[in-house]
Amino acid sequence: MLRFLSGLHALSLLMVPLAELQSADPTDSLIFLATFDDGLDAEVGADRRLRTADSLERQIIRSGNTRTDVRRVAEQNGARRGAVLRFSGLDTKRITLFSGTNAGYRERDWNGTVSFWLKLNPDEDLAPGYCDPIQLTDSRWNDGSFFVDFDKDLPRVFRLGVFSEYAFWNPQDIPWEKVSNEERPMVVVRQPPFVRTDWTHVAWTFRGINASDATAAEATLFLNGQAAGTLRRPMQLQWDEQNSAIMLGIAYTGDFDELAIFNRCLEPAEVKLITELQRTLTAAPR
């Protein structure tokens, strides 16, 4: 069954059998989708244009892709038929991004889900140093941000970071190297499943950020449809939305595909459904 999204110009995320959708249908809350199948711009979103910034500080932002180390390539590996975004890791200064207005930010009780696919061998493909395949922020990595990254040391661990405003999560301004692992707002996966020969689905869900009653929020990392860890603590992200960005491929070498953002915290069964369907079916015609 082809599921069309109301209010989004009849764009569709998946070709989904009706029986499977009766119990879980994530497409009802899709607010951003970039498949890269027909171009670099997104198919769904408040601002669909892909851009390039001069640096992580994003002082100069130009429309389109101005990086020679980022390109669309055809992909015929199983379910990932179409095109994907390939980062060759040669231009580590300039940043590929979409506007953060696509992230569905809410000043109170922010819930959501971010989903995408990666293909790489982290230990062999990445240059020395930290690598963020994706980072969402209006400021810096440790000040009101979401990101997933590969740590700088071998063997590479994979981490989800959900950093509240800096003064909220680190009010004593403790240097990062002295912050204990327990106090760092991160989920750490020490043996992640990434391989160069196959795609790995990555998603994180979150609920209760900027909670009205200051209760603990939750953020869960999923790898190939399985929960890999959950972060529970009060979280406050007070974005200047117009200055926020969804940055892709920071010091990354590998393939990236199917970035989707949802305006609610998907249930584990829904995340698993996306993983399974994307491995067996192509995106619906647009």
Per-residue pLDDT tens digits for 179-220: 999 999 999 999 999 999 999 999 999 999 999 887 899 999
What are 17's two structure tokens? 């059998």
pLDDT surpassing 70 at residue 3: no
DSSP 236-284: -----GGG-EEEEEET--EEEEEEEEESS---HHHHHHHHHHHHHSPPP
Whichever domain contains 241, its CATH number is 2.60.120.200
Angle 96-101-103 from CA coordinates, rounded to 5°: 85
**107 part of a folded domain:** yes
* Domain-located, residue 33: yes
- CA-nearest of 229, 224, 234, 237 to 276 is 224
pLDDT-based confidence at 23, cuts 50/70/90? very low
Q: Which amino acid is at 84?
A: V
Does some domain include residue 270?
A: yes
Q: Give percent of the chain with pLDDT exceeding 90.
A: 81
DSSP letter assigned to residue 100: G
* Cα–Cα separations (whole angstroms), residue 19 to 16, 159, 263, 283: 8, 34, 24, 18
Helix/strand/coil for 237: coil
4 in a domain, yes or no? no
CA 26 to each of CA 14, 128, 201, 234, 268: distance values in angstroms, whole numbers, following the listed order: 10, 37, 15, 26, 11
Number of folded domains that form the chain: 1
* d(C-alpha 203, C-alpha 116), whole Å: 6
DSSP 3-state of 271: helix
Q: 250 is written with which tokens?
A: 């920071």
Task: Band the pLDDT of 91: cuts 50, 70, 90.
Answer: confident
> Does residue 217 fall inside a structural domain?
yes
11 found inside a domain: no
Provide, rounded to the nearest whole percent, the portion of the chain with pLDDT above 70.
Answer: 87
Continuous H helices in 106-250:
122-125, 166-169
* CB-count exposure of residue 47 (10 Å: 0-12, 13-18, 19+): middle
Instruction: Determine which helix (DSSP H) or strand (DSSP E) holds 49, and give its type and residue range.
Output: none
Question: Is 2 within a domain?
Answer: no
Give the distance from CA 135 to its chain's centroid. 7
245-250 β-sheet, strand order = 61-63, 51-53, 95-99, 245-250, 131-140, 143-150, 158-163, 186-189
Which residues are CB-contacts of 128 (< 8 A; sequence separation ≥ 6)? Answer: 152
Residue 175 domain-assigned? yes
Question: Average pLDDT over the chain, rounded to whole?
Answer: 88
From 84-93, 125-134, 174-183, the region with the lowest mean pLDDT: 84-93
Total-model pTM: 0.90
Q: Could you tell me if 250 and 135 are in contact, meaning their C-beta atoms sit under 8 angstroms apart?
A: yes
Q: Residue 213 is part of which domain span?
A: 18-280
